[in-house]
């Protein structure tokens, strides 16, 4: 699927309206590689001036592991071709699963000179995808670049009483809208 970056996308709008919440800080993050001083702390920073820079052969990996199975609606990645040029990803894949041995590719996207937020919808059948682990895979960069720059990543989940996810214009919902996720194994 080809996606365009959304330079004016406000990742906090859905949080303010009570539909989604950022669950990035509830996970343990680690990277396949990074240049010294350009690691996970830069991906988690609120500043878009900082970035993670990989250091090594592709594919580059961002691993996100939650302590409990988490319902995830979308993965938002901020990239800037105007500043990063050949360091900007051109092809990304997202894998999800319960552990590293069962990760399955759930989405693959191609980007054409993106500058802004790339919102990757991870819902399955309109419902959030439940997983312990998400893995963002940088498969290729623009201009055949080797290392990559990602400026920010956010993992968004439904807020309690929220709607059905990214861009959903319905308000409210309450406990009855979350009842479909209330199951005992």
Tokens of 170: 């319905």
More confident position, 184 or 151: 151
Judge contact between 98 and 133, C-beta under 8 A: yes
User: What CATH fold (topology level) applies to the domain 2-162?
Assistant: Jelly Rolls (2.60.120)
Listed in sequence order, the residues at least 6 apart from 177 whose beta carbon sits closer than 8 Å to its beta carbon are 161, 162, 163, 164
Q: Does the pLDDT value for residue 126 go beyond 70?
A: yes
Quick one: which of 139, 143, 172, 147 has its CA closest to 158?
172
Measured CA to CA, the distance from residue 100 to residue 77 in angstroms comes to: 22
Angle 6-138-72 (CA atoms, 0-180°, nearest 5)? 60
Strand partners, 128: none
Quick one: which of 120, 123, 163, 150 has its CA closest to 21?
163
Q: Does the pLDDT value for residue 171 go beyond 50?
A: no
Q: Name the average pLDDT for the chain.
A: 88
What average pLDDT does the segment 89-107 reach? Answer: 97
Judge contact between 65 and 26, C-beta under 8 A: no
Tokens of 154: 């956010």
Q: Does the pLDDT value for residue 25 go beyond 60?
A: yes
So what's the pLDDT on residue 165?
Answer: 46
Q: HEC profile for 61-130? A: EEEEEEEEEEEECEEEEEEEHHHHHHHCEEEEEEEEECCHHHCEEEEEEEECCCEEEEEEECCECCECEE
Name the residue ranges covered by the structural domains of the chain. 2-162
Measured CA to CA, the distance from residue 170 to residue 106 in angstroms comes to: 26
32-59: burial string, b at 16+ Cβ within 10 Å, e else: bebeeebbbebbbeeeeebbbbbbeebb
What average pLDDT does the segment 130-149 reach? Answer: 97
């Amino acid at each position: 699927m080809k996606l365009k970056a959304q330079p004016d996308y406000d990742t906090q709008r859905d949080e303010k309206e009570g539909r989604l919440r950022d669950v990035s800080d509830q996970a343990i993050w680690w990277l396949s590689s990074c240049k010294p001083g350009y690691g996970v702390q830069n991906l988690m920073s609120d500043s878009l001036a900082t970035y993670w820079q990989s250091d090594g052969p592709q594919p580059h990996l961002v691993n996100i592991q939650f302590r409990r199975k988490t319902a995830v609606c979308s993965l938002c990645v901020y990239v800037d071709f105007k500043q990063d040029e050949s360091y900007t990803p051109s092809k990304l894949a997202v894998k999800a699963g319960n552990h590293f041995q069962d990760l399955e590719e759930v989405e693959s996207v191609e980007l054409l000179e993106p500058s802004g937020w790339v919102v990757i919808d991870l819902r399955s059948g309109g419902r959030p995808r439940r997983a312990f682990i998400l893995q963002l895979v940088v498969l290729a960069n623009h201009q055949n670049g080797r290392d990559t720059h990602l400026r920010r990543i956010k993992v968004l989940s439904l807020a309690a009483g929220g709607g059905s996810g990214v861009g959903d214009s319905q308000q409210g919902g309450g406990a009855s809208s979350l009842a479909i996720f209330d199951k005992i194994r």
